[in-house]
Amino acid sequence: MRHTFTILLAGFACGLLSGTAAASSEMDAIAKYRELLADGNPSELVAAQGEELWKTKRGPQQASLERCDLGLGPGVIKGAYAKMPRYFKDTGRVQDLESRLMTCMENLQGIEPKSIVDGKFLKGEREKVAALVAYVVTESNGARIDVDMRHPEMKKMYEMGKMAFYFRAGPMDFSCATCHGEEGKRIRMQDLPDLRTQKGAAAGWGSWPAYRVSNGEFWTMQHRLNDCFRQQRLPEPIYGSDVTIALSVYLAATAKGGTMLTPGIKR
């Protein structure tokens, strides 16, 4: 119509594009699109299911998750996600939200983590974990990202996460840093946050988990990270495994001081 949209022309191979071409009017239009979507994030529907699940007596032990300790004491959800991942004394390890929810489901409800770890995204018990995630992260919306890095295990995980972030591998010799280790990179119209910086990490970490309009699915952080590995043509990591938690520690620690805008809504 009035604008020229060289950047929009179809036919780009999947890949990286350095962000120079888009005129500001186009970026303004995209910004308007995102703004229109923000009001009425379908994550709310998933969060409502999660809230119901949190309160429902389920599993072999017929218990709810209302005594689940996400780090701020049994049953405290408000602001809990903004302080995760964290070191948990009772399990003796660093856990992200999803691995922690599995602990609660096992201890309180008697639901075997194996069925979740070996399961598939958006299926069975793992889908239920995702609904719980939607509920919990909604209760940290607007909170300050504030991971506690004092425990030596957190420091260890941070170092492991950083290593994983820069680790190049796979048929394309990619690492997370290939896409997210430079300012101003994009894939087509998607700005890629520079996750090495506080600002970039806050933008990335602070807006996931999120509802993805492209497929109408709610994606947890485990799902997000899993797909990053897939896109790098690397083997998918085990659900809730240390490397995934370590990457989350690295991102959350780098993002510290930023604001949680969860759940997000993504293209």
Partner 1 sequence: MGNPMKIRAAAKDGVTEVKVLISHEMETGQRKDANGAVIPAWFITELVAKHGDKVVLQSEFGTAVSKNPYLAFKFKGGAKGDKVSVSWKDNKGDSRTDEAVVN
Partner 2 sequence: MNNQRRNVLKSGTGAAVLGALAAAGIIKPGVALADWNKAAFEAKSMADTLKALGAGAPVESKDVQVTGPDIAENGAVVPVGVASSIAGTTMVAILVEKNPNALAASFTLPEGTEANVQTRVKMGQTSNVYALVKAGGKFYMATKEIKVTLGGCGG
Does 15 help bind partner 1 (rule: CB under 8 A)? no
Q: Does the protein bind partner 2 through residue 5 (CB under 8 A)? A: yes
Examine residue 10 and tell whether it contacts partner 2 (CB under 8 A): yes
Cα distances from 201 to residues 15, 35, 132, 145, 195, in angstroms, run: 21, 21, 24, 11, 4
Q: What contacts 208, CB < 8 A, 6 or more positions away?
A: 219, 221, 224, 262, 264
Contact partner at residue 231 from partner 2, partner 1, none, CB < 5 to 8 Å by partner kind: partner 2
Q: Which does 24 bind (CB under 5 to 8 A by kind): partner 2, partner 1, none?
A: none
> Would you call 14 a catalytic residue per the annotation?
no
Measured CA to CA, the distance from residue 244 to residue 222 in angstroms comes to 7
Which does residue 243 touch among partner 1, partner 2, none (CB within 5 to 8 A, set by kind)?
none
Give Cβ neighbours of residue 165 (< 8 Å, ≥ 6 apart): 175, 176, 177, 180, 181, 195, 247, 250
- Does 122 engage in binding with partner 2 (CB under 8 A)? no
Position among 106, 121, 227, 256 found at the interface with partner 2 (CB under 8 A):
227
Stretch that binds partner 1, among 44-52, 133-141, 162-170, 226-234 (CB under 8 A): 44-52
With CB under 8 A as the contact rule, which of the stretches 26-34, 108-116, 153-161, 169-177 interacts with partner 2?
A: 26-34
Taking CB under 8 A as the rule, does residue 33 contact partner 2?
Answer: yes
Report in angstroms how near the CB of residue 35 gets to partner 2 at its nearest. Answer: 9
Per CB under 8 A, does 233 bind partner 2?
A: no
CA distances from 172 to 103, 230, 231 (A): 36, 11, 10
> Binding mask 213-252 vs partner 1 (x if CB under 8 A, - otherwise)?
x--x------------------------------------
> How far are the Cα atoms of 36, 95, 249 from residue 263, in angstroms, in the given order?
16, 19, 18
Give the separation between CA 68 and CA 87, rounded to whole angstroms: 15
How many Å apart are CA 147 and CA 134, to the nearest integer? 19
72 part of the interface to partner 2, by CB under 8 A = no
3-class DSSP assignment, residue 22: coil
Binding site for partner 2 (CB under 8 A): 1, 3, 5, 8, 10, 14, 26, 29-30, 32-34, 36-37, 179, 187-190, 192, 213-216, 227, 231, 267
